[in-house]
Structure 1
């Protein structure tokens, strides 16, 4: 009688090692990191869950507030009002900036998209440990879904921004369609940045407390409430180059260029479109790879 690896009575053959048994029956190491291609395939396979998770997170974000989803619009509008009072009126950054109100609101809305993506991404893994430890799925699902939730909110904000721009006297032109590629590039950039923040946040819990201060500093350097060109005309060349390469400032300026007639191509940083696409590629691919490298450690550290 031939000897089976696993006899009918359930006893294992002592001469066959565990590694050989695992290989024979297609078993793998629990929590092992798949290849980047396989990881991408699994992530794509969870696309419906990503969409549902993003929708649920967006619906539940303001469920306990009396005004509900109105806060999606009111929060950036109130921020814009505060910045207009402090920077536009008291400090005088509106001087020399035509159409300052749409200029300011555009900067606030566009930067808020990146800011909220990073802040939600830093807690994507650490804030969902129960889900991470209970279910097997590509962990990149979480920061990607949260970025998608912020994109849905940004689309609502863009509708409000269009109304504000129209009320400010702007006339719709074909250039408004340029908002679509700008928003697409920024979304990829934000997703990559959220993936980086998610990995760092899973290892350093205090990062979530520090990050708002970093983002606030970044906002002040991104020309949200003032014209970078007006204030840096006499700045040293290295400073101007760094500000021109600032991705947040580039996405803000490209959106202003698309929507505001008085914001011309001469006010854009050099090679603005190339810089926008380059940042999206670098952070999109780099952030994905950086997050993937620690796939087997999420929820275990």
Structure 2
């Protein structure tokens, strides 16, 4: 088809095509096209993550190695940091504030009680803090490469698990030095840590999505985590201290059922002879499984739903 313009030139228009009148969505469907960067289905997303498992592991190891690369003591800080925190808590909460009172087995077991609590809570604390920055702190990687973004918070949680396993060697030495003897209950550390890892990863994914749009969350998290630590019995027996304050039983049960307190209690039960089943909250294993499954699954889905928005805007 052609037509003459006002200056006498002849303009030729394109002939009609079978796609005329089709919307963009209809054309994409007709030719099997998909939106670049679109969120895949949940099952497909999980498959993509599994295909990149080697990248996730290598990335977590690289981050762990680089974490203290500028410090003269290097990787020793992985163990020294929680130990120094435990020393400060011992001086303040153990000696000055009487936190040793009410610890199962007496004051002589306070150091194993304290160090176990500090190491286990640090695992969750570090995972959450790393999760907040997982997307916001790696925008260059997110924008340059195409991969499931959940690989980042998962790798950061895996990094913290590896760091905890190094610290566990020192923890076991401390336990042996204070008269704890290895028993079959020490094997309970494996399922307890596995459930805590799943819980930490789910929570890290929630924080990663929130932190990707609210960078100020990283500045707020230390205050929230510190409050959570005080409410989880890291430095003292939660039931004993709340009992001194005449706290109602429902408050004691609620705080004892919070996930950080649950995983700390399970680790103490596994490793410390005097911390018996009588010191555990009721249904503690069901609570541990429930927190792991609910937060792990919900956090994964919550993160996946915003997959196509990460690194944009």
Matched, 1:64 2:70: yes
Matched, 1:112 2:118: no
1:249-260 aligned at under 5 Å gives the runs 249-260=261-272
Q: CA deviation at 1:91?
A: 0.7
Matched, 1:275 2:281: no
Q: CA deviation at 1:96?
A: 2.8
1:290 to 302, 307, 310: 302
Q: Residue 92 of structure 1 corresponds to which residue in structure 2?
A: 98
What is the DSSP-based 3-state SS (H/G/I as helix, E as strand, rest coil) of the residue aligned with 1:158?
A: helix
**Count of aligned residue pairs for this structure pair:** 291
Matched, 1:201 2:214: no
Structure 1 residues 35-73: Cα deviation after superposition (integer angstroms, max 9, x where no partner): 111111111111010000000000000001000000000
For structure 2, the residue ranges without an aligned partner over 5 or more in a row are 1-13
1:1-301 aligned at under 5 Å gives the runs 14-16=17-19, 19=25, 22-23=28-29, 25-97=31-103, 98=106, 99-233=109-243, 234-301=246-313
What is the DSSP-based 3-state SS (H/G/I as helix, E as strand, rest coil) of the residue aligned with 1:29?
A: coil
- After TM superposition, the score normalised by the length of structure 1 is 0.93
CA distance in 1, matches of 2:278, 2:229: 22
Q: CA deviation at 1:94?
A: 0.5
For structure 1, the residue ranges without an aligned partner over 5 or more in a row are 1-10
CA contact (8 A) 1:104 1:224 kept: yes
CA contact (8 A) 1:244 1:270 kept: no
What is the DSSP-based 3-state SS (H/G/I as helix, E as strand, rest coil) of the residue aligned with 1:188?
A: helix
CA distance in 1, matches of 2:213, 2:205: 13
Q: Which runs of 4+ in 1 moved over 2 A?
A: 11-27
Q: CA deviation at 1:19?
A: 4.6
- After TM superposition, the score normalised by the length of structure 2 is 0.90
Task: Calculate the aligned-residue CA RMSD, in Å.
Answer: 1.5
Q: CA deviation at 1:23?
A: 3.8
Q: CA deviation at 1:159?
A: 1.2
